[in-house]
Structure 1
Amino acid sequence: MFLDTANTERIEKALQSGIFQGITTNPTLLLKERENREQKVEELFTKDIPFLFIQAVGSTFNELYEDAHRIYSLAAEGKKIGVKISLDQTGLSVISKLKQENPDYTILGTAIYSADQAILGALAQCDYLAPYVNRMSTHGIDPYDAIEKTRAFIDSRNLNTKIMGASFKNSQQVIQALTSGAHTATIPYDIYVQMIDKEIALSAIDVFNQHGYELRGS
């Protein structure tokens, strides 16, 4: 699992769980923190983050390509960084160019709304693909069917690409994405809390603790 946020406090809390492989961010999340991107990345790298994904920005090939290189240059010694690139014609061209230059560059193809779009990303050698589950549902597109078809394509050709479900509004969407074939998912902090801190479970835990304290005192 990945955590989708740029909030340092939430990252520190979530990483204590030991289940997160890394952090994903985007310009919207970074803007919420009201910090310069480079400064924020430097701050995040002071934390024990296994992997950090940053979104490249640009409306032309050169803008997107140059920003991707700027992001890769931000990696501190011993730290792992990946670039998120939106999958349109420009993004696909940039991804192919980057992979030709260095197959070890880690790339997450984003803004995916269909299986055919994802398949092209897999053929371009994206390491991860991020189908936007809730946004697809909102537009009348079945995200789970798209995930199933993409996973079938990846598996049938033994590609190394992994599906990272994204854009969730509730924990059930996360579970359905994973059971439909997504290898992993990137989730906001509030959904992580939804998934683990169930009210009925917390009530039972409180009772166990209360009884345990009583036993200690007897």
Structure 2
Amino acid sequence: MRLYLDSADLERLSPLLETGVFYGVTTNPLLLREAGLRKGQLAAFAESVLGQGAREVYLQSWGAEIRQLLEQGRELARLDSRVVVKLPATREGLSAASRLAAEGVRTCVTAAYAPFQALLAAAAGAAYVAPYLGRINDSGREGHAVIAQMARALRQIGSSTKILVASVRSTADLASLAQAGVRCATVPPNIAEQLFQEPLTLEATRSFEAAASEVNR
């Protein structure tokens, strides 16, 4: 499974990227605002995370009209060939995604909540579609079941569009998603840190170190 970090906070991203476990970094305007980043800082941000080992960085286009989404999307794509442009699963966002994909820009249709939206993303030629697991659950639907249906539908039609699950709220979600055939997920730093804190592993490691200290005498 490809694991991504869902954050724009370089202080939190850097030590996690150093592990070499995470394939890339995903962001959205809410995360950029939270990190205090402005549009003029996006190039430096992308350069920083890519320089620290990220193989993809996701930046979201914005604007109420297709024209605005396209202009911003093209500008973001020009920052680096490893930038994936995110667009919302709206009429305007899908229209922009389709046109950008036709221009060779890799896109991710984001904020997907229903299985048919995965099919729309595939029809638009998007490289990824990002359903929000936690938020689907919050709406009263069973998030894992919805995403499993998305995965089956994309496999059935032979689509190359990958599911990138966002709004992951526990480490246990990752194994369940993998069992459903999902190969990409993005996690916030607090969940990413928990991946390295399995109590039994830490206990076993302490025992190894204690024994090693005697062996090395």
Same fold (TM over 0.5): yes
Higher relative contact order (CA 8 A, sep 6+): 2
Q: Give, in angstroms, the shift of residue 132 of structure 1.
A: 0.3
CA distance in 2: counterparts of 1:17 and 1:207, whole angstroms: 23
Following TM superposition, the consecutive aligned residue runs of length 4 or more in structure 1 with deviations greater than 3 angstroms are none
CA distance in 2: counterparts of 1:140 and 1:175, whole angstroms: 22
Cα deviation code 1:71-101 (max 9, x no counterpart): 11222xxx5111011101111111112122x
Tell me if 1:196 matches 2:201.
Answer: no
**One of 36, 39, 44 as aligned partner of 1:42:** 44
Paired position in structure 2 for 1:3? 5
Aligned AA (1:95):
A
CA distance in 2: counterparts of 1:62 and 1:146, whole angstroms: 32
Tell me if 1:162 matches 2:145.
Answer: no
CA distance in 2: counterparts of 1:203 and 1:41, whole angstroms: 42
Paired position in structure 2 for 1:108? 108
Indicate if the aligned counterparts of 1:114 and 1:143 stay in contact, CA closer than 8 A: no
Tell me if 1:152 matches 2:152.
Answer: yes
Paired position in structure 2 for 1:213? 213
Paired position in structure 2 for 1:33? 35
Aligned AA (2:38):
N
Paired position in structure 2 for 1:19? 21
Indicate if the aligned counterparts of 1:112 and 1:132 stay in contact, CA closer than 8 A: yes
Q: How does 1:33-182 map to 2 (within 5 A)?
A: 33-46=35-48, 47-48=51-52, 49-75=54-80, 79-100=81-102, 102=103, 104-182=104-182
User: Structure 1 residues 65, 187: CA separation in 2 closer, same or farther (over 3 Å shift)?
Assistant: same
CA distance in 2: counterparts of 1:153 and 1:169, whole angstroms: 24
Taking structure 1 as the reference length, what is the TM-score of the superposition? 0.90
Alignment partner of 2:216: what SS?
A: helix
Aligned AA (1:129):
V
- RMSD over aligned Cα, in angstroms? 1.6
Cα deviation code 1:116-158 (max 9, x no counterpart): 1121111111101111000000111122222222222222222
CA distance in 2: counterparts of 1:37 and 1:199, whole angstroms: 41
Q: How many residues are matched? A: 212
Aligned AA (2:10):
T
Aligned AA (1:56):
S
Percent identity, aligned pairs only, is 27
Taking structure 2 as the reference length, what is the TM-score of the superposition? 0.90
User: Structure 1 residues 62, 44: CA separation in 2 closer, same or farther (over 3 Å shift)?
Assistant: closer
CA distance in 2: counterparts of 1:67 and 1:116, whole angstroms: 26
Aligned AA (2:40):
E
CA distance in 2: counterparts of 1:140 and 1:69, whole angstroms: 36
